[in-house]
Chain A
Amino acid sequence: MPMKFNEPAGANPIDRQKVIGKPFDRIEGPLKVTGRAPYAYERHDAVENPAVGFVVGAGIAKGRIKSIDVTAARKAPGVLAVVTAETAGKLGLGKYNIAKLLGGPEIDHYHQAIAVVVAESFEQARAAAGLLRVDYAAEKGVFDLRGTKDTSVKPKPSGGDEPDSAKGDFAGAFEAAAVKLDETYTTPDHAHAMMEPHASMASWDGNKVTVWTSNQMIDWGVSDLAKTLGLPKENVRLVSPYVGGGFGGKLFLRADAVLAALGAKAAGRPVKVALPRPLVFNNTTHRPATVQRVRIGAGRDGKITAIGHETWSGNLPNGKPENAIDQTRLLYAGANRMTATRLALLNLPEGNAMRAPGEAPGLMALEIAMDEMAGKLGMDPVEFRILNDTQVDPENPERKFSQRRLSECFRIGSGRFGWSARKQPGETRDGRWLVGMGVATAFRGNLVMKSAARARLAADGRITVETDMTDIGTGTYTIIAQTTAEMLGVPLTQIDVKLGDSAFPVSAGSGGQWGANSATSGVYACCVKLREAIARQAGLDPLKADFADGQVTADGKSVALAGVANARDIVVEDGIEFGDLDKRYAQSTFGAHFVEIGVDHATGESRIRRMLAVCAAGRILNPKSARSQVIGAMTMGAGAALMEELAVDKERGFFVNHDLAGYEVPVHADIPHQEVVFLDETDPYSSPMKAKGVGELGICGVAAAVANAIYNATGVRVRDYPITLDKLLSAMPEVG
C-alpha cells in the first residue's frame, strides 16, 4: 500500500535538515565533467558494435507519398535494411503522440520520419539515406496562425479545466473601469533545442526489446513504445540514466526509439539512431506560437476590477492548445474576470509542452500588460503588483493558497536590485547605452504526481535507491541521495542512486516541475518503510526508532546500520500517492524577476546587464542545484525575450531555421552574472518533503521583465516577441 498524502505534513525526519537543504555538489558531477557518464547513443558498454540507423524526414508538410524507391539505398555498401511505413508492419499510435512517428503514405508534417536506413556505419547509412527517391503528392495546408482567428474553435477541456472561465461581470466592469488596457501580444514558436539530440539504441531478444534512450518519462515511454509496436508492456524495457537536456522535448516517445526498434528488428541486430540536428526542429515537438489579448480595468486607486485574457494557438488534428491563460485565473485579485482559449488547425509539426507550458508564454503577455497598466495608472510596477496580490483563489475566494509570499519576493528583490534607482523611460544613459530596469512576476502551478522507489540496505551499511525517475540536469541523483541520507541518518557518501530504468519502480518522471518534490516524496515513503524493516531486524521498536550517525536507536539501545543486514540485503519498495490537497488549496510557486538592460541608442542592440530572481517555492532541497535550475531558466527566458523564434515558411509549412545556427539561443556573451534568492520556507500542504518545484518557475516572467526593461530604457513598447533590434530601431528616441 503506497503512502497516502491526504493531510498537511507534520514534523518528520526531513525537518532535521542535516543533509536536505544543504548545497552539496552533484554526486554524479565527477562522471559528467570527465566524460564518463554514458548517454543513450554511447552505450558501448551495453551493446557491442550496433548497426547505425539514419532517419529520413518527409520533404513536404502535408499530402501523401506516392512511392518510395529504396532500390539504390538497399544496394548501397554496408546497408542492412531500409524500413518504411510500407515494410514496418502495422504500427499503433502512442497515447501521448498526435502524429505518427513513422509517416506514410499520409504525411502529417514536414520532416515527419518516413524511413530509417540501417547500415554498418554512420557514414554508410547517411550516404544510403540520400539515395531514397520519394515521389510526393503535396496538398495545401494551413501554416499561418494569424490567418486562423475566424476558424479557430473552442477545444475540448484539457487537464480537467474548461477552455473558458468567467467570474462576475467582466464586460460591464471593464467598460466602467476608470483606467483600461486592451492590447494584443504575440509569442512565436519555440524550440527546446536541448544539447543532446533525441537518440536511442535498441536490441531485441526474441520478442522482447530493450531500448537505451534519452527520455524524461520512462513509464510513458514504455507504454507508448509497447502500444506502437503492438507488444505487451512487459516486453519493453527502457533505460535512460543520463538525459542530455529535455525541457519537455523528451517527455514522449519519439521517432528515434521507434525507428531504432524497427531497424533492429529488420537488420537482425542492435541498431542505434540519433536524430540529425537539422531534423530535430521539425521532426519533434515545439512550444506553439500564441496570439494573446489582455484586457485589464482598474480604479484610479490601482485596484484591478476587471481582468480578461484570451489566447489562441494552433496544432495538428487532436493536438492541444497552449494554455497561456492559466496563470491569469489565479495570479491577481479582481472581482470580474474572464479567460478564453481557442485552437486553430495548423499543419505545422506537433505543438506540445516546453518548460512551463501555458505560463511561460502566458506571462510573456500578461506581465507586459501589467507594466503598461502600471504606466497608465502612474504607479510603480512593483507597487501595482503588490496592491493586487491575493491570498485566495480569485475565482473561488473560499479556496486559499497553501502558501503565497509573492509580495515578499517583490519587496526583497526591490531592495537587493536597487529598484528605487529606476527612472522614467529613456532617462538613464551610460555612454552609447540607454539603460532600463524591468520587473515581472514569476508564477507556476505546483503539480504533484505519484511516485515509487525501491531501497536496499547491504551488509556493509551502503544503501541503494532505485527508481525510474530521471535526472535531466535537474539534480535528481543528488536530492534523492540527500533524502535517503536524511531519513536513514547516514552520510551522503553511503548512498547509491540508480535512475531511469523501467526495471525500477515507476516514479513521477521529470516534467511540469513536479519531479523533485514528487520523486523525493516517493523516496521518503520508501525510506519510512526501510526504517521500519531495519528497526525490526535490529530488534528495536519501529515506532520509537531514531536514525542518526549511522545508527538506529530505541529504548536506549543503539545498533549500527552496517551489520544489520548481515545475512541478506534488506529490500523494500514503496511510494506516495497524493490526495486532493492540491484541489482544496491553490498550490503554486512564486517569484519576482528583476532585469537591467542596456540598449544601444544607435543600433537598438540589447544587452542584459543584471538579472535577479527572488523565489518562494517551499523547501529548497539543494540550494546549489536549485539555483542552477533557476539561472538556466532565466537564460532560456532571456532567449525568448531577445532572439528565439522558429521562423515559419508559410507557403511550404515548416520551420526554416532548423539548426542551432538559425535558431538562436543565448550564448555566454548574452548572459551576465545572475543572482537568485530563495525565501526560507516550507509548504506542508505540498508533500512530506514540504518542497515544490523551481525549474519552470525560473523561466516564468523573465521575458516580460526583459521587455519591460527595454521599454524603461527606450520608451519603445514592443508586443511582438522576440524583441529584435529591427522592432526597436524605427521608434528609438533621438539622442545626442
Chain B
Amino acid sequence: MAGPRDWEISRRDLMVGAGAGAVLAATPKLAEAGASLASETRMPTLASVSFTVNGEGRRLEVDTRTTLLDALRERLQLTGTKKGCDHGQCGACTVIVDGHRINSCLTLAVMHEGSEVTTIEGLGQPENLHPMQAAFVKHDGFQCGYCTPGQICSAVAVLDEIKAGIPSHVTVELDGELLPTSDEIRERMSGNICRCGAYSNIVDAMAEVAGRRA
C-alpha cells in the first residue's frame, strides 16, 4: 500500500499543469501542499475523480476525505441523497453504484473513479416518476420524507437482487425460484431505517412494483 508521500505532487504543480491545458488522467491525482505532515498544519489533500452520475459524466477535484455522499450533496448539489447518521447505520444515503446499492457515507468519492452512480434524482422526476417512486406516493410509503430517497434506491436494488436470485438470511430454498415475498422484502430493507414508521406501507409499495414486474 502506497503511503501519501509516494503519491505526492504539489498543488502548485497540479495548478500549473491544469493551466497549461493538461488533461487529468483517469487515476486520482493527489496534491499535498503542506510543508509538514503534522495534522495541525496539514493542508487538505486534493484529488481529481471522474464518475458518471445519473448518466452524466462529472469530474471533481475533492478533498480526499470527502465521502461520496458529501461529493453528491455539497459539490454536485444533488441533495436528494440524505445524511442521517454519516456512519452507515441508517441507510438514508443509499445510492446505486455500478448496479449495487451502497451507503454513500461509507465510501470516499475518490474510490469511485469510473463508477456509474444513480441517485434518487436519476430514478425519476416529479412529473416523470419511476414506478417505485409512484408506488411510494400511492401507498404513502413515507411521512417526513427524509429516509425516503434511500428507501427507494434500496427498494429498486432489492427487487433486482431478488430477481437475480441472490439469497438472503430468510431465504428458505436456495435452489428454488426466489420470490419477492414480504419476508424477503423486510429482511433486505432492514438497513434502511424509517423512524416515522412507514414500513408496512413501503412493503405494500414494493409488493405492487414486484407484482407488476412478474
Task: Write the residues of chain A forming the contact surface with B, with a CB cutoff of 8 angstroms.
Answer: 25-26, 28-39, 41-42, 44, 72, 75-78, 121-124, 127, 131, 192-197, 242-247, 274, 276-278, 472-475, 624-625, 627-629, 631-636, 659-661, 665-669, 671-674
Encoded as 1 (CB less than 8 Å from any A CB) or 0, chain B from 68 to 99 comes to 00100110011111111111011010000000
Q: Which residues of A contact B194 (CB under 8 A)?
A: 195
Q: Are A668 and B126 in contact (CB under 8 A)?
A: no
Encoded as 1 (CB less than 8 Å from any A CB) or 0, chain B from 187 to 201 comes to 101111111111111
What are 11 A-B contacts defined by CB distance under 8 Å?
A31-B126, A33-B134, A34-B133, A35-B79, A36-B121, A121-B74, A124-B44, A195-B92, A242-B144, A474-B143, A668-B202
A274 to B82, CA, bound (A): 12
Q: Which residues of B contact A243 (CB under 8 A)?
A: 144
One of A33, A41, A195, A278 near B193 (C-beta < 8 A): A195
Question: 17 additional contacts, CB 8 Å, given A78-B44, A122-B70?
Answer: A33-B137, A34-B120, A35-B121, A36-B125, A37-B145, A39-B79, A42-B79, A77-B34, A77-B41, A193-B195, A194-B195, A244-B144, A247-B195, A277-B87, A659-B85, A661-B87, A672-B200
Within B130-162, the residues touching A (CB, 8 Å) are 133-134, 136-138, 140, 142-149, 152
Q: Are A36 and B80 in contact (CB under 8 A)?
A: yes
- Decide if the interface of chain B is mainly helix, strand, loop or mixed: loop
Most chain-A Cβ atoms within 10 A of its Cβ — which of B82, B133, B144, B152?
Answer: B144
A35 to B132, CA, bound (A): 13
A480 to B120, CA, bound (A): 28
Q: Are A634 and B66 in contact (CB under 8 A)?
A: no
A39 to chain B, nearest CB (A): 7
Q: Are B200 and A35 in contact (CB under 8 A)?
A: no
Most chain-A Cβ atoms within 10 A of its Cβ — which of B34, B43, B125, B146?
Answer: B146
| Closest B residue to A698 using CB positions | B197
Q: Is B30 an interface residue (CB 8 A)?
A: no
A25 to B129, CA, bound (A): 14
A629 to B197, CA, bound (A): 8
Q: Are A244 and B200 in contact (CB under 8 A)?
A: no
| Closest A residue to B42 using CB positions | A77
Q: Are B84 and A660 in contact (CB under 8 A)?
A: yes
Q: Which residues of B contact A671 (CB under 8 A)?
A: 186, 197, 199-200
CB contact under 8 A between A35 and B201, given known A195-B90, A196-B146: no
Q: Are A632 and B143 in contact (CB under 8 A)?
A: yes
Q: Which residues of B contact A673 (CB under 8 A)?
A: 182, 200, 203
CB contact under 8 A between A666 and B197, given known A35-B79, A661-B89: yes
A669 to B185, CA, bound (A): 9
One of B40, B65, B145 near A242 (C-beta < 8 A): B145
A633 to B77, CA, bound (A): 33
Q: Which residues of B contact A42 (CB under 8 A)?
A: 73, 79
A661 to B195, CA, bound (A): 13
Q: Is B124 an interface residue (CB 8 A)?
A: yes
B71 to chain A, nearest CB (A): 11
Q: Are B152 and A33 in contact (CB under 8 A)?
A: yes
Q: Which residues of B contact A29 (CB under 8 A)?
A: 136-137, 140, 142
A662 to chain B, nearest CB (A): 9
Q: Which residues of B contact A26 (CB under 8 A)?
A: 137, 140
CB contact under 8 A between A30 and B140, given known A660-B84, A661-B87, A669-B187: no
Encoded as 1 (CB less than 8 Å from any A CB) or 0, chain B from 25 to 45 comes to 000000000100001111110
One of A244, A246, A247, A631 near B198 (C-beta < 8 A): A631
Interface size class of B (residues with CB under 8 A): 35 or more
Q: Which residues of B contact A38 (CB under 8 A)?
A: 79
A433 to chain B, nearest CB (A): 15
Q: Which residues of A contact B44 (CB under 8 A)?
A: 77-78, 121, 123-124
| Closest B residue to A31 using CB positions | B126
CB contact under 8 A between A668 and B185, given known A32-B148, A196-B84, A277-B86: yes
Q: Are A631 and B193 in contact (CB under 8 A)?
A: no
Q: Which residues of B contact A31 (CB under 8 A)?
A: 126, 145
Q: Are A77 and B43 in contact (CB under 8 A)?
A: yes
A629 to B199, CA, bound (A): 12
Q: Are A632 and B196 in contact (CB under 8 A)?
A: yes
Q: Are A276 and B43 in contact (CB under 8 A)?
A: no
CB contact under 8 A between A122 and B145, given known A632-B197, A661-B89: no
Q: Which residues of B contact A41 (CB under 8 A)?
A: 83
A636 to B185, CA, bound (A): 20
Q: Which residues of A contact B77 (CB under 8 A)?
A: 44
| Closest B residue to A39 using CB positions | B146
B74 to chain A, nearest CB (A): 7
Q: Which residues of A contact B80 (CB under 8 A)?
A: 34-36
A564 to chain B, nearest CB (A): 29
Q: Is B63 an interface residue (CB 8 A)?
A: yes
Most chain-B Cβ atoms within 10 A of its Cβ — which of A194, A624, A660?
Answer: A660
A194 to B83, CA, bound (A): 12
Q: Are A35 and B74 in contact (CB under 8 A)?
A: no
Q: Is B119 an interface residue (CB 8 A)?
A: yes
Q: Which residues of A contact B82 (CB under 8 A)?
A: 39, 195-196, 244
B168 to chain A, nearest CB (A): 10
Q: Are B193 and A665 in contact (CB under 8 A)?
A: yes
| Closest A residue to B149 using CB positions | A35
A274 to B84, CA, bound (A): 10
Q: Which residues of A contact B120 (CB under 8 A)?
A: 33-35
One of B126, B190, B200 near A36 (C-beta < 8 A): B126
CB contact under 8 A between A632 and B63, given known A42-B79, A75-B40, A122-B70: no
Q: Are A33 and B148 in contact (CB under 8 A)?
A: yes
A542 to B169, CA, bound (A): 66
Q: Are B89 and A659 in contact (CB under 8 A)?
A: yes
Q: Which residues of A contact B140 (CB under 8 A)?
A: 25-26, 29, 624-625, 627-628
| Closest B residue to A43 using CB positions | B79
A636 to chain B, nearest CB (A): 6
Q: Which residues of A contact B196 (CB under 8 A)?
A: 195, 245, 473, 628, 632
| Closest B residue to A32 using CB positions | B145
A660 to B192, CA, bound (A): 11
Q: Which residues of B contact A475 (CB under 8 A)?
A: 143
A540 to chain B, nearest CB (A): 37
| Closest A residue to B200 using CB positions | A674
Q: Which residues of A contact B121 (CB under 8 A)?
A: 34-36
A632 to B140, CA, bound (A): 11
A77 to B11, CA, bound (A): 14
Q: Are B145 and A636 in contact (CB under 8 A)?
A: no
Q: Which residues of A contact B65 (CB under 8 A)?
A: 123, 127
Q: Which residues of A contact B123 (CB under 8 A)?
A: 34
Q: Are B146 and A245 in contact (CB under 8 A)?
A: yes
A155 to chain B, nearest CB (A): 30
Q: Which residues of A contact B87 (CB under 8 A)?
A: 277-278, 659-661
Which A-B residue pairs are the 7 nearest by beta carbons? Answer: A35-B80, A635-B197, A244-B146, A473-B143, A473-B144, A632-B197, A32-B145
Q: Are A127 and B193 in contact (CB under 8 A)?
A: no
A193 to chain B, nearest CB (A): 6
Q: Which residues of A contact B43 (CB under 8 A)?
A: 77
Q: Which residues of B contact A628 (CB under 8 A)?
A: 140, 143, 196, 198, 201
A632 to B142, CA, bound (A): 10
Q: Which residues of A contact B39 (CB under 8 A)?
A: 127, 131
A626 to B112, CA, bound (A): 42
Q: Are B193 and A277 in contact (CB under 8 A)?
A: no
A246 to B146, CA, bound (A): 11
Q: Which residues of B contact A193 (CB under 8 A)?
A: 195
